[in-house]
Structure 1
Amino acid sequence: MSAPKIVFLDRATIPKHIELPRLTVEHEWQEYDFTSPEQVFERIYNADIVITNKVVLTGDVLAQLPNIKLIAVSATGVNNVDIEHCRANNIAVSNVQGYATRSVPEHVIGMMFALRRNLMGYHHDIAAGEWQRNKQFCFFTHPIGDIAGSTMGIIGGGALGRATAELAKALGMNVVFAERKGTAECRDGYLPFETVLKQADVISLHCPFSEETRNMVAEQEFAQMKPNTILINTGRGGLVDEIALVDALKKRQIAGAGVDVFTQEPADIDNPLLANMDLPNLLLTPHVAWGSDSAISQLAQILISNIEAFVAGKQQNRLV
């Protein structure tokens, strides 16, 4: 392929202070910080290669763009691309994998410590003058728990789940993996889904989102958890029923929750989690668990390498 035109639709998903590696092949480059659905067609109508992180590329739009030869997804998930259309029309699709196996687990562990030791609750109490009113060198308005010796239940046994397990074990935690919900027979090394819900002191979600896993954790699942359980979701927003989660926190069915992903992103104030973010046992972050500088730098390296491999006629991280 000679001098392909490459268009990056949402460059702002990679922070400006992290530079993209230089492509060694001759090319034409165009990038946009953000692209709305209405702008997609006009921006890529003569592109050969399209880079997208979260911008949706539907079959209807792609059908009008005969020049596109590669969609390079700058993330692992590709649910924003019509894969079947690409397969049927000889459009290659690549993604980036394995770049966040340090960043996401560290985010999980950070959330776990903040919630188990009630760091936010104490921070808010100091801001509200509680320390001054107590007139003591310290005060105890929230329980402070230990991590070592407790049990982490992991739902999702892929690279991120396994990497999180290794960190948890290093902290002295017992780790158990949950079999898929509704599966009668367990694989070696897995426990029934419901057993993990009942045993775990911390539950960390790392499975993909699908119709099968939609609202995988909801009212019935919260009722099976222990009162000291912390739920952490760095997987996908739709895995957890957000209304049921808020209810479980308010009723103290569980001790706390750390949430990095939401059913709609960006989440607005109507989202039940944002509407209740003053809860001292709820910690929210804006889908950044994957985003340490080192992880994003690695993502950028793999992304550009995928494009160079495609131009050279090689197969690399290809889904189609």
Structure 2
Amino acid sequence: MTDAWEPQVNGVVRTLQSVRNVLEKQGHLVKVISPDLFYSLPCPTYPEIRLALARVASVGAMLEEFGPTAIHLATEGPLCVAARRWCIRNDMPFTTAYHTQFPDYVSARSGVPAEWIWRYIKWFHAPSQAILASTPSIRQSLTDHGLSHVKHWGRGVDLTNFHPGIAPHPAMQDLEGPVQLYVGRVAIEKNIEAFLKSGHSGTKVVVGDGPARASLKARFPEARFLGPMFGPELASAYAAADVFVFPSKTDTFGLVMIEALACGVPVAGYPVTGPIDVLTPETGATDEDLTKAIGEALTKDRSACAAYGRTFTWEASARQFLNALYPLYGDRAAA
């Protein structure tokens, strides 16, 4: 069950798609109940996200028809709220996941204090059998807010696409170095402005799209905005970069970091959740001064980055997800 699904392009959707693909290859039946199955409205300030107007009875009917052996609620939106109510009403156990620093995200967009949003987060996740989280610092954050029933669910890389030795993207081959790359949604909560304002020499490249793209492009004409890329084309963009810059302070993990690492590209970021959990001294650098972090990351060995990036697989992620699920009936079987 998820409020984030196709055609959205973000880390939540990519994680769910990748894990589903692995589970289906293993013979599991996976039913995704998503906003496209209901009448929906665009989310204020984020129209790409559709908010499903789903009745509890309608969601429950879909669940009963499928007959699941476990129920997972991936997001905190209205569709999963409806499913949550149905599960509680029918004494059905379920798991949830904390994919995004939702309180910080809402605060960045609306100015509402993050602690106000934490009240909702606690209400939503408290009845679950387990909350799946990707990093130690996120697990600690949840625990600090009274949600201690947390289990680890890591992330992976499509190693068939993202690996060293890929030819650099033609649009990035002749840029003045060092080439500093950002990949992801171009929106205020991603803190891209901090990257574009950082002072290291070279060329800054932004791959992705979003509501802040036009204004950032106008304000930073020296940067290259190449639009969204996927698969092999995205891998070629990573291959052309000397350093990958992850300026976000609101992400829980950052799939793009491990994709860059798998391509042999060191990563620079702030010392916040995501970078501090993913990066090692050999593969990246974090600093409150992003310019310093970029300079230090440029000294890292690309082969060490690639070797570390290969340790993140979707097979391992799917295994962790499966082990965290709670069965609706009978004893729990080892996955």
TM-score using structure 1 length: 0.28
**Quick check: which has more Rg, 1 or 2?**
1
Greater helix proportion: 2
TM-score using structure 2 length: 0.27
